[in-house]
Chains A and B, each alone.
Chain A
């Protein structure tokens, strides 16, 4: 199974490299010609996940929400990451809490990962502050 994925990835990379110029030229196509195809793929992709028309309504609602997120400066990558990783996070949070209660929060590896996460989240702000301080000194 793992090797199937590995081989599939190698084949895809090879094919992509072969057609990279043609793929790149997609960006020069007028928006009006691309929009219907993108809409079609979005709707079909949503429909084929459960074969239910309700999924198309979800696409419409989240499409609208995504638009307003872009409009008002809310970053979407964290939202998408949350959606993708949410199920895993819920499962393991439940397992950890059931097994250790709140004590899992005090385990060394958890504390290290938590500190790293906080550092990564705060890094852009700290960097900006440092740059601003350096700029004002000059």
Chain B
């Protein structure tokens, strides 16, 4: 997936975002448009420059070893890489949907047990133990101590109200 085509797609996405912001801002009154335009115009130009560098094949040479930023594991089989990425995105999305449906207090232990058991291949003791630790920390700190109210979730709201 780390191909010039992928990078070009990313460039095009940023160009579209910055271009959209620029066009929208230019329709606003001057003072309102000032900051959005001051950000969007340079971003647009730099993304276009990056795309041109990509197309000319200069991008990779320039960036190698130039950054101390976080890097993904290299040298993995692309199929494994894609499978792992999709798997993690699915888990994150599943956690979000569980929160939406049943709320934080139920979603947390459910997600912990399922994730640790199915993805982490951990034993029942570890899975349930860590789920209990997570739930107690969540409830103790955020609900009991800080008194923060969390959403009930669509399913629970349907049954309770």
Partner-contacting stretch, out of A10-18, A20-28, A88-96, A112-120: A88-96
Kindly state the separation between the CA atoms of A75 and B93 in the bound complex, as whole angstroms: 25
In this assembly, does B34 line the interface, its C-beta being within 8 Å of a C-beta of chain A? yes
**CB-defined contacts of B96 to chain A, threshold 8 Å:** 43, 56-57, 60
Kindly state the separation between the CA atoms of A51 and B100 in the bound complex, as whole angstroms: 13
Total A-B residue contacts, Cβ distance less than 8 Å:
102
Per-position binary interface string of chain A over residues 93-119, scored 1 when its CB falls under 8 Å from any chain B CB and 0 otherwise: 110011000000000000000000000
Using CB atoms, name the residue of chain A closest to B151.
Answer: A53
Shortest CB-to-CB span from A13 to chain B, Å, is 22
Q: Is the CB of A36 within 8 A of B130?
A: yes
Q: Is the CB of B31 within 8 A of A53?
A: no
Shortest CB-to-CB span from B7 to chain A, Å, is 5
Interface of A is mostly: helix
Q: Is the CB of A93 within 8 A of B122?
A: no
Per-position binary interface string of chain B over residues 145-161, scored 1 when its CB falls under 8 Å from any chain A CB and 0 otherwise: 00011110000000000
Shortest CB-to-CB span from A94 to chain B, Å, is 7
Kindly state the separation between the CA atoms of A35 and B38 in the bound complex, as whole angstroms: 38
Q: Is the CB of A32 within 8 A of B92?
A: no
Which of A44, A71, A94 has a CB less than 8 Å from the CB of B138? A44
CB-CB under 8 A for A64 and B10, given A32-B119, A73-B63: no
Kindly state the separation between the CA atoms of A94 and B32 in the bound complex, as whole angstroms: 9
CB-CB under 8 A for A93 and B116, given A36-B130, A73-B7: no
**CB-defined contacts of A30 to chain B, threshold 8 Å:** 120
Shortest CB-to-CB span from B104 to chain A, Å, is 7
Kindly state the separation between the CA atoms of A35 and B116 in the bound complex, as whole angstroms: 9
Q: Is the CB of B120 within 8 A of A43?
A: no
Which of B6, B89, B111, B115 has a CB less than 8 Å from the CB of A72? B6
**CB-defined contacts of A90 to chain B, threshold 8 Å:** 35
Kindly state the separation between the CA atoms of A74 and B100 in the bound complex, as whole angstroms: 32
**CB-defined contacts of A56 to chain B, threshold 8 Å:** 96, 99-100
**CB-defined contacts of B62 to chain A, threshold 8 Å:** 128
Q: Is the CB of B134 within 8 A of A37?
A: yes
Q: Is the CB of A43 within 8 A of B149?
A: no
In this assembly, does A48 line the interface, its C-beta being within 8 Å of a C-beta of chain B? yes
Q: What are 9 contact pairs spanning A and B, CB under 8 A?
A: A36-B130, A40-B112, A43-B95, A51-B149, A53-B100, A60-B96, A68-B13, A94-B31, A124-B66
